[in-house]
């Protein structure tokens, strides 16, 4: 069983656990390792989960659970897929459970929690599959339930949609990438979900890579001028330039653009762009892409498909939490 350690304890300071600043919640090292392996920052995830739980409780208590569940009562519960899909967000859901279990410690109730991880993020699951089982104080389980499911369903939905796109272009040589069209404050998690579905991440932030779009071109006085300005100011930063017409390609490639974003071009134009560029830069299709034409686009020879829909409009994967008989 995991015994969440209070901030300031030897466990919180010395054994690799991560403590919620400035509160009393700590994550066990095995969960922290799982998060780090996924490319997630444990303190950041803990802060996001704490904010979600605080939003749900709104400074009060779970009045339904407080009234119907006895203090100290314990139970097992299962996270169960209600539909086929790809899982993402199980460690985040686990953080929510840990957080509520730790809160019960502060109320003088045993906060130990036992987690059985049945599958891992990135796994294809079928309706009815048990994803994770947990035993803890029943009040903690029910208080954490909705926040845990919100993260799990949302991220699994992104992973599921991403996998559909990845499957659609399989064997073409093209890869599916996300965009920065993410939910505010959830970018790290949503881009992780894309990776769980087999997709690639485009830039995480504005500082990672330069993307010269039409407004930058207008402000700089031309695409070549904009590219030169970026390289003079930030010589080591990768540069991608957006074009909307084929006659813009030669200028931006000659200027040294490493990557070109083909905005709202049809497949015939994309094939011509591939011919013109002839391997001098990578090409990324963007705008107007839908799953039904994904393979057609990929077969034009472009290197990447930029799909904002992976994060801005993916439906959830339905996952439920089923409490077993109380212990």
Residue 231 bears catalytic tag: no
How far apart are alpha carbons 172 and 291 in whole angstroms? 15
Hey, how many other C-beta atoms are within 10 angstroms of the C-beta on 206? 9
Residue 242 bears catalytic tag: yes
Pick left, alpha or beta for residue 217 (phi over 0 → left; psi -120 to 50 → alpha; otherwise beta). Answer: alpha
Instruction: Given the residues 117, 175, 181, 271, select the one marked as catalytic.
Output: 181
Contacts of 6 (CB under 8 A, 6+ apart): 12, 24, 26, 102, 105, 106
Three-state DSSP class for 176? strand
Evaluate whether 267 touches 293 at the Cβ level (below 8 Å).
yes
Quick one: how far is CA 42 from the chain centroid? 14
Q: Is 323 exposed, middle or buried (0-12, 13-18, 19+ CB in 10 A)?
A: middle
Q: Is 173 exposed, middle or buried (0-12, 13-18, 19+ CB in 10 A)?
A: exposed
Hey, how many other C-beta atoms are within 10 angstroms of the C-beta on 232? 8
Instruction: Given the residues 56, 263, 272, 299, select the one marked as catalytic.
Output: 263
Three-state DSSP class for 154? helix
Instruction: Given the residues 103, 145, 178, 242, select the one marked as catalytic.
Output: 242
Three-state DSSP class for 5? coil
260 to each of 53, 70, 230, 268, 308, how far by Cα in Å?
A: 42, 61, 15, 17, 17
Residue 181 bears catalytic tag: yes
Instruction: Given the residues 44, 175, 180, 213, select the one marked as catalytic.
Output: 213
How far apart are alpha carbons 206 and 255 in whole angstroms? 21
Three-state DSSP class for 278? coil
Pick from 92, 97, 87: nearest CA to 34: 92
Instruction: Given the residues 146, 175, 203, 280, select the one marked as catalytic.
Output: 146
Residue 213 bears catalytic tag: yes
Residue 263 bears catalytic tag: yes
Catalytic residue set:
146, 181, 213, 242, 263
């Amino acid at each position: 069983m995991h015994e969440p350690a209070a901030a300031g304890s030897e466990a919180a300071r010395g054994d690799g656990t991560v403590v919620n600043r400035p509160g009393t919640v700590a994550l066990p090292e095995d969960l922290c390792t799982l998060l780090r392996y996924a490319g997630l920052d444990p303190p950041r995830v803990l802060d996001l989960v704490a904010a979600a739980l605080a939003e749900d409780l709104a400074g009060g208590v779970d009045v339904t659970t407080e009234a119907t569940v006895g203090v100290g009562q314990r139970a097992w519960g299962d996270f169960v897929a209600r539909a086929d899909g790809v899982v993402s967000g199980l460690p985040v859901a686990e953080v929510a459970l840990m957080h509520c279990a730790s809160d019960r410690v502060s109320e003088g109730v045993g906060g130990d929690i036992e987690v059985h991880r049945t599958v891992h993020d990135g796994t294809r699951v079928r309706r009815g599959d048990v994803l994770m089982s947990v035993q803890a104080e029943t009040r903690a389980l029910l208080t954490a339930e909705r926040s845990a499911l919100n993260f799990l369903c949302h991220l699994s939905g992104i992973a599921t949609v991403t996998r559909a796109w990845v499957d659609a272009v399989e064997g073409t040589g093209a890869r599916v990438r996300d965009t920065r069209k993410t939910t505010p404050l959830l970018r790290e998690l949503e881009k992780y979900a894309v990776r769980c579905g087999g997709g690639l991440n485009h830039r995480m932030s504005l500082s990672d890579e330069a993307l010269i779009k039409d407004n930058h071109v207008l402000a700089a006085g031309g695409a070549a001028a904009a590219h030169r300005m970026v390289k003079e100011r930030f010589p080591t930063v990768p540069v991608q330039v957006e074009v909307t017409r084929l006659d813009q390609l030669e200028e931006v490639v000659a200027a040294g653009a490493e990557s070109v974003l083909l905005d709202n071009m049809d497949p015939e134009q994309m094939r011509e762009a591939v011919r013109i560029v002839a391997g001098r830069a990578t090409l990324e299709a963007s705008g107007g892409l839908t799953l039904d034409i994904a393979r057609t686009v990929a077969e034009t020879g472009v290197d990447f498909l930029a799909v904002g829909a992976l994060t801005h409009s993916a439906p959830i994967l339905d996952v439920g939490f089923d409490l077993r008989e109380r212990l």
